[in-house]
Amino acid sequence: MKLQVQGRRRWALKTFSAFLAAWSALMVGPGAAGYLIPAAHAQSGVKAAAFFFPYDAQSTQLAALVEHEATEAIGQQGGYVNVDVEKVLAGESARENETRITYGNQSFTQGRDAFAAMDMSTSMEKLIESVTFLEQAFPYLPRDGSFETALFYCGAASVMQGDPDTAKSYFERVLNLSPTYVPDPAAFAINPAITTLYDEVKAARAAGPKGSITVTSNPPAAEVYVDNIYYGVTPTEVPGLNAGEHYLVLNKKGYTKSMEKVLVTPGAPKAANINLTPTRLFANYQRASAQAAGEIPGMAIGPGITELGRSLFLDRMVLGTVTYQGTQIEVTAILVDQGPQQPMPTVVGSGTKQFNLSSPTLYSDIRTFVFDLFRGNMVSSGGSNIGDMMSQSKKFKDDQKKEQEKITDKWWFWTLIGVGVVAVAGGTTAGVLAASGGKEPPTTGSVLIQF
Please report which confidence band the pLDDT of residue 431 belongs to, taking 50, 70 and 90 as the band edges. low
Average pLDDT over residues 39-66: 84
165 and 196 in contact (C-beta within 8 Å)? no
Selection from 330, 322, 318, 323 nearest residue 370 by Cα: 318
Note the pTM of the prediction, 2 decimals. 0.73
Confidence check: pLDDT of 49 > 90: yes
Q: Are the C-beta atoms of residues 308 and 62 closer than 8 Å to each other?
A: no
Average pLDDT, the chain: 80
Q: Is 206's pLDDT higher than 90?
A: no
Q: Which pLDDT value is given to residue 129?
A: 97
Residue 389 has pLDDT above 80, yes or no: no
pLDDT at 3 (0 to 100): 41
- Side-chain-side CA neighbours of 439 within 13 Å: the count stands at 8
The pLDDT, as a whole number, for residue 393 is 38
Q: Which CATH superfamily is domain 92-206 in?
A: Tetratricopeptide repeat domain (1.25.40.10)
Kindly indicate the confidence band of residue 424, based on its pLDDT and cuts at 50, 70 and 90.
Answer: low
**What pLDDT was estimated at residue 428?**
56
* In contact, 397 and 381? CB cutoff 8 Å: no
What pLDDT is attached to residue 79? 86
Burial class (CB in 10 A: 0-12, 13-18, 19+), 182: exposed
Edge to edge, what strands does the sheet with 316-324 contain? 80-82, 46-54, 316-324, 328-337, 346-356
Q: pLDDT, tens digit, for every residue of 72-108?
A: 999 888 888 899 898 888 877 778 999 999 999 999 9
What is the domain class of 210-275 according to CATH?
Answer: mainly beta
Averaged over 44-71, what is the pLDDT?
Answer: 93
More confident residue, 425 or 397: 425
Q: How confident is the model at residue 130 (pLDDT cuts 50, 70, 90)?
A: very high
Q: Which of 113-122, 135-144, 196-205, 332-341 has the lowest mean pLDDT?
A: 332-341
pLDDT tens digits, 165-179: 999 999 999 999 999
19 phi/psi in degrees, rounded to 5: -60, -45
Task: Read off the pLDDT band of 429 (50, 70, 90).
Answer: low
**Domain boundaries 38-89+281-407, corresponding CATH code:** 3.40.50.10070
Amino acid at 66: V
% of the chain residues with pLDDT over 90: 55
Q: What is the mean pLDDT of residues 350-367?
A: 93
- Work out the average pLDDT over 214-242: 95
Average pLDDT over residues 356-370: 94
| Whole-number pLDDT of residue 310 | 87
The residue that leads in pLDDT, 420 or 336, is 336
Q: How far apart are CA 178 and CA 436, in angstroms?
A: 61
* Domain extent listing, the chain: 2-33+410-450, 38-89+281-407, 92-206, 210-275
pLDDT higher than 50, residue 378: no
**pLDDT the model gives residue 385:** 35
* pLDDT given for residue 401 in this prediction: 44
Query: How many residues appear in the chain?
Result: 451
